[in-house]
Amino acid sequence: MDTSGLTHVIAVDPAARTADVAGMCTYEDLVVATLPHGLAPLVVPQLKTITLGGAVTGLGIESTSFRNGLPHESVLEMDILTGAGDIVTASPREHADLFRAFPNSYGTLGYAVRLRIELEPVEPFVALTHLRFHALADLVVAMEDIVETGRLDGVPVDHLDGVVFSADESYLCVGVQTATSGPVSDYTRQQIFYRSIQHDDGATHDRLTIHDYLWRWDTDWFWCSKAFGAQHPVIRRLWPRRLRRSSSYWKLMKLERRFDVGDRLEELRGRPPRERVIQDVEVPIERCVEFLDWFLANVPIEPIWLCPLRLRDDDGWPLYPLRPKRTYVNVGFWSTVPVGSTEGETNRRIERRVSELDGHKSLYSDSYYSPEEFDRLYGGDAYGAAKARYDPDSRLLDLYAKAVQRR
């Protein structure tokens, strides 16, 4: 199917604070269209080439999620090409069953060809405060207080996420939007954003334009550009600035996977192959320290990203059933570990631990659930009903087949 006509911004309505967007439009292109109006999507996932349709059908998150929930919660309506070959407009009023089942369906019910989303006003700059913690429990207490009050030291907070480097070095990154002009940092050149966070004690401060803040993680794919040498000072000077972005690293990663470069290098060094552990999980905030302590003791990966969230919708979403009015923390970790004695050993252990802590994990990663557990965790009955109505001939893959069986 030719999708070349599904990559653009259809219209921005500054008065209504909405945007109509084709399903494969990237957030990078959408932000270019909205920022001149002083507006932005309520949640802008952290990588430039994530598409609107992808963030809705496959979920997404960012530092506004503690107050704005997940990207699909700001969708007002969608035109969806279903597995039955029909284009239906789904909203809370029309085809509401499809509207609610579409998030986390990963293209197995249909494809969003147009989305109308809410926008919110933004200021031109973000003032950042990076708070250092020596104990994870202290960080989580501070995070929970900001989520509950929406404030830090009495000042309203617009953005909140964090980074864990070790059990005794972690940070909250607190952002406040401002119209006040002044010097700003630029992390698209030699400086690296996640390294700028680190300091000994107390708090440090920084400023970015709203545009650069939205894409602060993209230049180095969080910290994963290190695997390609892009953080080495010499290589960084030689690496073209326009290619310092997540889409470039992703292309290199696909080549590495295609030719097994990493495992071949490990073999030459006399070491075992590596298991990819690339996951985002949500755990209730009251279990966050428990999960982090377990993870740091059992999985040799750091840094770790933290992003708190609360659903906006009081009814929840059946295919990713987080509990409304409950705070969760997205824990993101993206690296490799030595292979174990069984396939996907570390990923399986993480799955079990997340389930034990009443959490969920995003399905873009390798998954190993049984069909019964998968149905329990990912809205089996609601999904089955929507599948029967909108893809009765199963032209599209089943969600379990796509997320688990086709690893």
Q: Which secondary-structure segment (H or E) carries 280?
A: strand 274-284
Burial class of residue 75 (count of CB atoms within 10 Å of its CB; 0-12, 13-18, 19+): buried
Question: And the tokens for 246?
Answer: 């997540």
Taking the CB of residue 364, how many other CB atoms lie within 10 A of it?
14
Q: Are residues 96 and 45 part of one domain? A: yes
Q: What are the residues facing 169 on neighbouring strands?
A: 166
13 plus 73 within the same structural domain: yes
Question: Range of 22's domain?
Answer: 4-121
Q: State whether 12 and 113 are in the same domain.
A: yes
SS3 (DSSP) at 211 = helix
Q: Are residues 108 and 139 in the same domain?
A: no
Do the bridges between strand 151-152 and strand 155-156 make them parallel or antiparallel, or are there none, so unpaired?
antiparallel
- The list of the chain residues with pLDDT below 70 reads 406-407
Same domain? 83 vs 189: no
- Statement to judge: residues 8 and 102 lie in one domain: yes
Calculate the alpha carbon distances from 154 to 144, 151, 176 in Å: 15, 5, 12
Q: What share of the chain is helix, strand, coil (3-state, %, to 5)?
A: 35, 25, 40
User: How far is it, in rounded angstroms, from Cα 218 to Cα 228?
Assistant: 15
Last residue of a domain, one of 97, 121, 145: 121
Domain boundary among 100, 121, 142: 121
Residue 207's domain is classified under what CATH number?
Answer: 3.30.70
Name the region of 382 (left: φ>0; alpha: ψ -120 to 50; beta: rest).
alpha
Same domain, 139 and 63: no
Among 168, 194, 216, the domain boundary falls at 216
CATH number of the domain that residue 9 is part of = 3.30.465.10
Integer angstrom CA distances of residue 370 from 167, 177, 278, 283, 352: 33, 45, 20, 21, 12
Q: Phi and psi (nearest 5°) for 333?
A: -145, 130
Tens-place pLDDT, residues 137-155: 999 999 999 999 999 999 9
pTM over 0.85: yes
The CA–CA distances, whole Å, from 135 to 41, 147, 323 equal: 34, 19, 27
Instruction: Compute the distance between CA of residue 174 and CA of residue 322 in angstroms, rounded to an integer.
Output: 24
* pLDDT in the model for residue 367: 95
Residue 405 is predicted with a pLDDT of: 77
Give how many domains the chain has, as a whole number.
2
Backbone angles phi, psi at 314, to 5 degrees: -80, -15
Same domain, 116 and 64: yes
Q: Which residue from 219, 159, 203, 209 is spatially nearest to 183, judged by alpha carbons?
A: 209
